Chain A
């Protein structure tokens, strides 16, 4: 199955090497430690494995999903998976040998092009692990560029992103992470933001929509951040950009995103797709792979990994990041998705998300005891205040086959009764009504 050699092959090979057994080739390994007992379970045939893994999948329950909170359920056209699962993409190596990797290289170049246009930014990388690590790496770049030591973040940043950011900067000397609060409408308190910004602020991390689903007054935030001489790093939902203002339009210096909503399944949160973009002047501060256009010696267009002198395999301990891979296959899904949708399709999907979420908000706000918590504009997510703890609502709705949302109490004090609810284009009018009915029936 996995090993092709026949015993005759093996004999011939050992003979050529000049040993009588493979064990002879392992003489440097402490012999008393060789061949330990592992206690692995019985080996499964492919047929047994298939039955076993299908049974595991069946243990998961397909609830009607109304959770967003960083990972979003969208319709994925069949062509996306059909193309990206081709062995030519799936089993290709990192495109270091450009001549043998033009397919992967061109798809990454097209990914970078689509992302730049979608975000209205100058340059994009070939992708990072996920949105959270892309954000952390952007913040590290801001520290290097400004020489300042403080990262100011929105209090309404995704709690996991906060933790990852703190992990990444914890051992940078003198660096601290500070939060700027949100006001009663669910968006940043701009006066507090101005007070928190200072000549120590390297960058402000803006999330829009933020973790409470609210869209921020990004132009206003940007002006204040730049006035303080700090850089603006924006975290956005890429699908929202079909209808919502772009990071480029409000002069973001770096813009990052979780790219999963673009043609990638939820997969219990991983793999993700870290999108990282920047203004051109910060191009060389970007960590990770970047593909550029080049010419071959006959003057024909070719694609190649470029600006590699930034990377760990050349700079070693002087590299700004240790990142070595990208999420190439997820980026491929994203670029196929964007190619299939085009500008009009993306606008349609974004428009549907906007509409379904607002329709659901209307339905929910009519249920006695429930209300939409914040008044700020939102995209496909919003916060519902319930008459009982949100955790109980989730339990009750799970029994009715519905994943009700994300309970905010653990991350935001005072929001124990609040539920972050998401409706994308995957939810029909009937789904929305069923959700409202279930909520009303509690």
Chain B
């Protein structure tokens, strides 16, 4: 026997693909065999000619393969994500358990309504709860994600204007701090995007808005709190300006977790808004989805929402309500019901008093981090923020280090990176959103590490520039990956 022959690189197979581990004839699951071959049922021309190249692994190898892969991820259950605008907050385990009950997961969307009253009641009650917390008149659960919610909202607005034969409205106004989905959404709906600059205080420049508003404006899209973490202080006035121009006021609810219970969007003048169930409430991010993006509408716009909406008639829940003005359908069936169920569970765990505490704690945590890092990482807008703050180091103290380096260095210390280079209006921006579910102790640990990195930048900037040092892979050559894409094995 010879010890120490193999180097770590050769025995570390963590990034070997399942297709490379594959051995012909191995399998993970067996089904009974059909009595006759496929050719007994289908003519020759309809048959598949060669078998697909899928992995051939045992069940145990499959379990080990994916368990190993999972260990290469950062995850919220393990680490703190200070990701601005992403609201990585805790997802209670009960909601996972309850939403995976056979009684829900085994329901077919076209099953007789009498057989799915439990699911329909949940959807109806979720709609009702959303109406209560936003003050809006109606909700659709159909959009599959926040971005699809935006598209739903804008198409609803368009259906509203079209029904009034107000065809001259061809423009959507979006502030320059908006998420990229806002302008992309307006474009998909066939509108021309008018970008307006923000004022020096990070809020909407009312003069610029007034100049942009006209009888061609269909919708003004505004994120509240906005993407720099500030509440639009003149929002009532802005809403009035929008309505006076005959346009609709779309409130992007991406940051609604910081508002829920503190103020009702309807009171702010919103005609339409979407919520992100995973951010506004609690559903796991899942590495990028599935989400759910319910859209709410004020009474005058509600008839144009996508169909169907769950209704309750004489104690029976139904999807068959007539919606003759509806814009149609945004996706097949009725929305990401399993995700909505998690949102429903969440809302049922709070009453008026406890609900507002969540938003308050989002605000408290963000301001605590802002205050604790002051002097080293300064807030771009030096005032109280809502759920997130935009930080940067003074350019003279950066020593050639970029924000992206700081982000990578944080990974070495066991923290996920903040959102970087967003919003676009702040150079070298780092947007930190601690969320309401992090403890003071975790925030203190984050602050200590940020201060440590700040000191490294002053004394050993190269260490920061070369980060990460502790991950399973180092800096990745994204340029070659994009020039010669290898997108499949």
Interface residues of A in 94-125 (CB under 8 A from B): 94-95, 97-104, 106-107, 109-110, 112-114, 116-118, 120, 122-124
Residue among A59, A166, A265 having the largest count of chain B Cβ atoms under 10 Å: A59
Stretch at the interface among B62-70, B241-249, B393-401, B454-462: B62-70
Residue pair A312, B181 in contact (C-beta under 8 Å) = yes
**Across the interface, which residues of A come within 8 angstroms of B284, CB to CB?**
90-91, 329
Asked if B322 CB lies within 8 Å of chain A CBs, one says no
Asked if A138 CB lies within 8 Å of chain B CBs, one says no
Closest B residue, CB atoms, query A379? B42
Residue of A17, A55, A336 near B368 (CB, 8 A) is: A17
Bound Cα distance from A81 to B184, whole angstroms: 35
Q: For chain A, which range describes its interface: under 10, 10 to 19, 20 to 34, or 35 or more residues?
A: 35 or more
Closest A residue, CB atoms, query B114? A398
Residue pair B285, A315 in contact (C-beta under 8 Å) = no
Residue pair A294, B70 in contact (C-beta under 8 Å) = no
Given contacts A56-B121, A267-B338, A294-B476, contact A40 B133 (CB under 8 A): yes
Residue pair A94, B436 in contact (C-beta under 8 Å) = no
Q: For chain B, which range describes its interface: under 10, 10 to 19, 20 to 34, or 35 or more residues?
A: 35 or more
Asked if A281 CB lies within 8 Å of chain B CBs, one says no
CB proximity of B47 to chain A, nearest CB, Å: 6
Residue pair B54, A343 in contact (C-beta under 8 Å) = yes
**Across the interface, which residues of A come within 8 angstroms of B477, CB to CB?**
294-297
Q: Mark A309-330, 1 if CB is under 8 A from B, else 0.
A: 1011111111101111111111
**Across the interface, which residues of B come within 8 angstroms of A52, CB to CB?**
348
Given contacts A88-B77, A345-B31, contact A297 B96 (CB under 8 A): no
**Across the interface, which residues of A come within 8 angstroms of B184, CB to CB?**
312, 315-317, 319, 321-322
Residue pair A95, B287 in contact (C-beta under 8 Å) = yes
**Across the interface, which residues of B come within 8 angstroms of A290, CB to CB?**
485, 487
Residue pair B485, A102 in contact (C-beta under 8 Å) = no
Residue pair A57, B261 in contact (C-beta under 8 Å) = no
Asked if B160 CB lies within 8 Å of chain A CBs, one says no
Residue pair A326, B288 in contact (C-beta under 8 Å) = yes
CB proximity of B404 to chain A, nearest CB, Å: 10
CB proximity of B437 to chain A, nearest CB, Å: 6
Residue pair B54, A106 in contact (C-beta under 8 Å) = no
Asked if B452 CB lies within 8 Å of chain A CBs, one says no
Asked if B480 CB lies within 8 Å of chain A CBs, one says yes
Residue pair B263, A29 in contact (C-beta under 8 Å) = yes
**Across the interface, which residues of A come within 8 angstroms of B306, CB to CB?**
167
Stretch at the interface among A129-137, A147-155, A189-197, A222-230: A129-137
Asked if B377 CB lies within 8 Å of chain A CBs, one says no
**Across the interface, which residues of B come within 8 angstroms of A325, CB to CB?**
145-147, 288-291
Residue pair B328, A93 in contact (C-beta under 8 Å) = no
Q: Mark A374-408, 1 if CB is under 8 A from B, else 0.
A: 00010000000000000000110010000100100
Residue of B28, B49, B122 near A56 (CB, 8 A) is: B122
Residue of A116, A242, A266 near B105 (CB, 8 A) is: A266
Residue pair B288, A316 in contact (C-beta under 8 Å) = no
Residue pair A26, B262 in contact (C-beta under 8 Å) = yes
CB proximity of B13 to chain A, nearest CB, Å: 11
Residue of B33, B37, B408, B489 near A99 (CB, 8 A) is: B408
Q: Mark B463-489, 1 if CB is under 8 A from A, else 0.
A: 000001001111111101110011111
**Across the interface, which residues of B come within 8 angstroms of A368, CB to CB?**
none
Closest A residue, CB atoms, query B159? A170
CB proximity of B465 to chain A, nearest CB, Å: 12
Closest B residue, CB atoms, query A300? B473
Residue pair A270, B333 in contact (C-beta under 8 Å) = yes
Closest A residue, CB atoms, query B363? A25
Residue of B63, B105, B114, B481 near A293 (CB, 8 A) is: B481
Interface residues of B in 98-133 (CB under 8 A from A): 98, 100-112, 114-119, 121-122, 129, 132-133
Given contacts A100-B74, A317-B193, contact A242 B147 (CB under 8 A): no
Residue pair A171, B190 in contact (C-beta under 8 Å) = yes
Asked if A54 CB lies within 8 Å of chain B CBs, one says yes
Q: Could you list 27 A-B pairs, sorted by A, with CB under 8 Å? A: A3-B361, A17-B384, A26-B363, A33-B267, A38-B261, A43-B349, A90-B286, A93-B287, A97-B408, A112-B487, A118-B54, A132-B329, A171-B155, A266-B106, A292-B481, A300-B9, A300-B15, A301-B473, A304-B481, A322-B150, A324-B146, A328-B289, A339-B55, A342-B26, A343-B53, A346-B54, A354-B42
7 nearest CB pairs, A to B: A57-B103, A269-B333, A171-B190, A269-B109, A59-B118, A87-B77, A271-B290
